Amino acid sequence: MRFIARFAKEQEECFEIITVYDVRTIKEKINKLTPTLVSIAKEYPSATWFERKITDDFGIEILYSTDKRPLVKHEHFPKDIYPMKKSFEKLTMESNSEKIEKSTGSHGIILGPTHPYHLESSQFQLFEGNSEILHFETMPFYKYRAIEKMVEGMSLEDAKPIVERISGTNTVAYQLGYLDIWRQASKRTLPKTINVQHMFFLELERVLNHINDMALMCRFINFLEGSHFFMKLLEEGRETMKNLSGHRFGFGVVNLTNESEIKVENGFDFLNHLEKELIWFEKWMKVKPSFWKELVREGVILKEDVKAFGLVGLVARSVAIDLDCRKDSLFYNEYGFVSASENMGDTSSRFKIRLTEIHTSLRMMRKVLDNRVLPFFLGTTKDGEYTSFIESSAGELMMYLELKDEKINRFFIRDPSFLNAQILSRCMKNNEMDALGVILKSIPLSFSANDL
Amino acid sequence: MLRLIKNSINRKRAMEKPAIDGELNRLHRLIKQEIKKKFSSKLRLYIIDTGSCGACEVELQTLFNPLYDVSKLGIEVVYEVKDADIMILTGLLTENMYPICMEAYKILKEPKHVITIGDCPLFQAPFKETFAIKGQANVHFSTDYHIGGCPPAPRNILRGLLKYLEGLS
C-alpha cells in the first residue's frame, strides 16, 4: 500500500486518527483522557512528520516513535498548547521566553531560515567532512500560519481566498483541489468547458514552475546562460498567465461565477514560442556534455526510498514509478496526456522529466484554446467528509475537508513538499557540498505549502 | 573547432537581452542614480520571508531576471543582515519567525531601513488572525515604506523602491 497522509481530528468523545493509503483509508478512535497512538513510521518512514505534527496539534502521544521532537512548535512557542483542539480558541499567545540552545557540534552548519539555497524561510542543519555532506536535516514550519485552524468555522466561500494563497506558485492546483471538494459536497458535475479551462491553467502553472526550477538549477551549476534563458521564458510565461487569467500567478482563476474565454491571440504565440525555444535548448544540450556532467549521479533518490517514503510527482517518475493523478483521467487522456518517465533518480533525471512534461503540457494546452466558459453555480452543499487529489507541478496534492452545518469542521492538506522535505536527508548524504543547491532545486519544495 | 563556434553562438543567443520599454528604462536610470548618490553605487538587500505564500519572493527574484536586471543598477541580495542596507519583509509575521525577525532588526545597522512588500505584512491579504501570527509587522518594529500588492508585480516593486529612495535624505 502506498502511504499518503496521517492526521487527526477531534470529535466530542474522542480523537479520530485518519490514515490515508492509496487503496484505503483507516480511521481509528482514541480516548481523550490518555490519548496515545502507535507509530507506523517503521513501515512508512514519512509518517514521522505527520505523527510529530499530530502530537504538536492535539497532544497525542506517539508510541514506538524514534523521533518525538516538536515539528510545528519552535523554541519560542509556548509549551503545553495544543492549538488544533476545539477548546483552544486564543488568537494571541505569550511567546516562551526560555530559549533552547541548539548544539550542532564542531562541524555542524546551520543554514537559514534565510539563506541562498531557498527563497522561502526554512532551516537546514548539516554536517560535512572533506566537503562531503555527512548528514542533512530539514527544520520546517518557520512559516506556520495555522491555516487549518484559521478556516475552521468558515463557509467554503469565505475560506476560498485563503486556500488560494496557501502556496503562491501552486495556487491553481490548490484552487482546483478545493473546487473538487466543493463540487463533491454539492453533488454536481462540472461542464466539460470548465474542466477544459481549468486544465489549461493547471498545465500553464506546471510549465511555469518547471521553467523556474530549471532556471535555478542552471544557476546553481554556474550555467548562467541557461539560467538567463529560462528566466526570460519565465517572465514571458508570467505575462501570458496575467493576460489570460488577470493575475501573474493565477490567483482567482478558478471562479465559476464569471464568464470567461481564453483568447487565441494571447496564448497561442507564447505556446509556440516556448516549444521552439525548448527544442533549440535541447539540441544545444545534446552537444554540451559538460552540462549533464554537473547533474548526473547528483542527489540520487533510490527507487526503494521513493516507495518507502511514498514520494510522488516527478520525484517518483524519475525512478520510473508511474505515479500521476492525470494518467487515469479519461479527460486528460482525451487531450493526449502521456506520463513522463526517467530511471536514474538523480538531478539529471529530474531535469529531463521537467522538459518532457513541459512538452506534454504544451501539446494539451494547444488543444484547448478558443474555449468559452459560461457561469456555473454549485448550489447548496451536503455535510460530510470529502477528499480531492490534484496533480500539481510538485506531485499529488491531497486535500481533506469535513463540512458540518455547512461550515468547515476540519481541513487538512498533504502537499508533496511534506514528503519531499523528508527525503532530503537521504538524497543529500555523500554528495559534495557544491551540489547542495542544484540537488535542492531539483526537488519540488514549497515551504508555504509544507508549513501551512 | 566547429563545436566551439556553435557553442559560442548558442551562448550568445541564450544571453540575448529582451527589449525594455521607456518606463523601465527610466526606472533603471533613476534608481541607479539614487543608489549612486545615497548608497555609494551598491544597495544591499536582506530579504526575510516571515510567512508568505512564496509569490512575493518569486517576484523579488524576478527583479534579477534579464528583463529587470537590477544587478546592473548595483542591487544585490545579502544573506547576513549585518551586511544589509535595507531589510525587506514579506509575508505574515508568524510566531516562529518573530524572534528571528526581531534579532535581524536589532543587528540591522543604523539608520535602519525596512520595507514591507506585499499585502501580508500589514494584514491586508485575506488571511484571518490566528495564534500563530503576531499581527502587523509595523506594530512590532519600525518600518519605513510599504509596497502593496498580492503579490506586487516586479515593475511596481521598482516604482515603489524608486519612490522610497527619492524620499531618503
Tell me: the pLDDT tens digits for A340-388? Answer: 999 999 999 999 999 999 999 999 998 876 677 778 888 899 999 999 9
Q: Angle at the Cα of A412 (from A408 to A413), degrees rounded to 5?
A: 130
Distance to chain B for A349, nearest Cα, Å: 23
Domain encompassing residue A181: 147-451
Determine whether the interchain pair B94/A92 forms a contact, defined as Cβ–Cβ distance below 8 Å: no
Of A100-104, A231-235, B137-141, the range with the lowest mean pLDDT is: A100-104
Which candidate, A307, A288, A308, places its Cα nearest to that of A296? A288
The amino acid sitting at A403 is: L
Interface mutation target, options B128, B139, B155, B158, chain A, most CBs of A under 10 Å? B128
Interface mutation target, options A98, A99, A119, A148, chain B, most CBs of B under 10 Å? A119
Chain B CB contacts of A441 under 8 Å are none
Chain B's closest residue to A166, CA to CA, is B53
Q: Are residues A186 and A60 in the same domain?
A: no
CA pseudo-torsion sign A172, A178, A184, A185: negative
Q: Does B126 lie at the interface with A, CB-CB under 8 angstroms? A: yes
Q: Are the C-beta atoms of A427 and A404 separated by less than 8 Å?
A: no
Domain boundary among A47, A75, A90: A90
Chain B's closest residue to A149, CA to CA, is B130
- In chain A, positions 338-397, which contact chain B (CB-CB < 8 Å)? none
Q: Does B54 lie at the interface with A, CB-CB under 8 angstroms? A: yes
DSSP calls for A211-226: HHHHHHHHHHTT-HHH
Q: Reply yes or no on whether the pLDDT at A276 is more than 60.
A: yes
Confidence (pLDDT) at A90? 78
- In chain A, positions 168-197, which contact chain B (CB-CB < 8 Å)? 168-169, 171
Whichever domain contains A394, its CATH number is: 1.10.645.10
Q: Are residues A31 and A169 in the same domain?
A: no
A308 within a domain of the structure (yes/no) = yes
Chain A CB contacts of B125 under 8 Å are 165
Q: Domain ranges for chain B, please list them.
A: 42-167
pLDDT band at A439 (very low <50, low <70, confident <90, very high): very high
A131 within a domain of the structure (yes/no) = no
CA pseudo-torsion sign A77, A78, A81, A84: negative
Q: Are residues A312 and A377 in the same domain?
A: yes
pLDDT band at A77 (very low <50, low <70, confident <90, very high): confident
Q: What percent of chain A lies above the pLDDT cut of 70?
A: 95
Domain boundary among A49, A75, A90: A90
A406 within a domain of the structure (yes/no) = yes
Mean pLDDT taken over chain B: 93
Distances A242 to A67, A205, A262, B77 between C-alpha atoms, Å:
45, 12, 12, 27
Mean pLDDT taken over chain A: 91
Domain boundary among A73, A90, A107: A90
Q: Are residues A316 and A387 in the same domain?
A: yes
Count of CA atoms in the C-beta half-sphere (13 A) of A163: 32
CA pseudo-torsion sign B125, B130, B131, B132: negative
CATH number 3.20.20.70 given to B42-167: no
Distances A350 to A26, A207, A302, A444 between C-alpha atoms, Å:
33, 14, 13, 10
Of A205-214, A331-340, A371-380, B157-166, the range with the lowest mean pLDDT is: A371-380
Here the cell at position A52 is 510529530
Confidence (pLDDT) at A99? 52
Greater model confidence, A366 or B159: B159
Give B52-69 pLDDT, tens digit per residue.
999 999 999 999 999 999
Confidence (pLDDT) at A103? 46
Q: Angle at the Cα of A29 (from A27 to A34), degrees rounded to 5?
A: 145
Confidence (pLDDT) at A370? 65
Whether the upstream peptide bond of residue B111 has omega within 30° of 0, thus cis, is yes
At A272, is the secondary structure helix, strand, or coil? helix
What mean pLDDT do residues B1-26 have? 87
Determine whether the interchain pair B54/A447 forms a contact, defined as Cβ–Cβ distance below 8 Å: yes
Q: Reply yes or no on whether the pLDDT at A112 is more than 80.
A: yes
| Count of domains forming chain A | 2
Determine whether the interchain pair A146/B132 forms a contact, defined as Cβ–Cβ distance below 8 Å: yes
Q: Are residues A74 and A156 in the same domain?
A: no
Q: Are residues A291 and A410 in the same domain?
A: yes
Confidence (pLDDT) at A266? 67
Give B80-98 pLDDT, tens digit per residue.
999 999 999 999 999 999 9
What mean pLDDT do residues B70-78 have? 96
Distance to chain A for B13, nearest Cα, Å: 9
Determine whether the interchain pair A93/B10 forms a contact, defined as Cβ–Cβ distance below 8 Å: no
Q: Does B24 lie at the interface with A, CB-CB under 8 angstroms? A: no
Strand order in the sheet with A132-139: A108-111, A123-129, A132-139
A421 within a domain of the structure (yes/no) = yes
Which candidate, A396, A368, A393, A362, places its Cα nearest to that of A233? A362
Q: Reply yes or no on whether the pLDDT at A101 is more than 50.
A: no
The answer for residues whose C-beta is within 8 angstroms of residue B106's C-beta and 6 or more apart is: none
Give A158-177 pLDDT, tens digit per residue.
999 999 999 999 999 999 99
The amino acid sitting at B135 is: G
Q: What percent of chain A lies above the pLDDT cut of 90?
A: 78
Chain A CB contacts of B94 under 8 Å are 142-145
Confidence (pLDDT) at A452? 87
Q: Does B19 lie at the interface with A, CB-CB under 8 angstroms? A: no
Greater model confidence, B72 or A98: B72
Phi, psi of A54 (to 5 degrees): -60, -40
Q: Are residues A40 and A172 in the same domain?
A: no
Confidence (pLDDT) at A96? 63
Q: Does B61 lie at the interface with A, CB-CB under 8 angstroms? A: yes
Q: Are residues A254 and A365 in the same domain?
A: yes
Task: Report, in this order, helix, strand and coil percent for chain A, each rounded to 5.
Answer: 40, 20, 40
What mean pLDDT do residues B128-153 have? 92
Q: Does A93 lie at the interface with B, CB-CB under 8 angstroms? A: yes
Confidence (pLDDT) at A79? 75
Q: Are residues A270 and A364 in the same domain?
A: yes
Confidence (pLDDT) at A369? 67
- In chain B, positions 147-166, which contact chain A (CB-CB < 8 Å)? 150-151, 153
Q: Reply yes or no on whether the pLDDT at A92 is more than 50.
A: yes
Determine whether the interchain pair A76/B99 forms a contact, defined as Cβ–Cβ distance below 8 Å: yes
What residues form DSSP beta bridges with A385?
A: A402
Interface mutation target, options B58, B105, B129, B155, chain A, most CBs of A under 10 Å? B58
Whether the upstream peptide bond of residue B66 has omega within 30° of 0, thus cis, is no
pLDDT band at A100 (very low <50, low <70, confident <90, very high): very low
Q: Does B29 lie at the interface with A, CB-CB under 8 angstroms? A: no
Confidence (pLDDT) at B4? 80
Q: Are residues A286 and A430 in the same domain?
A: yes
pLDDT band at A147 (very low <50, low <70, confident <90, very high): very high
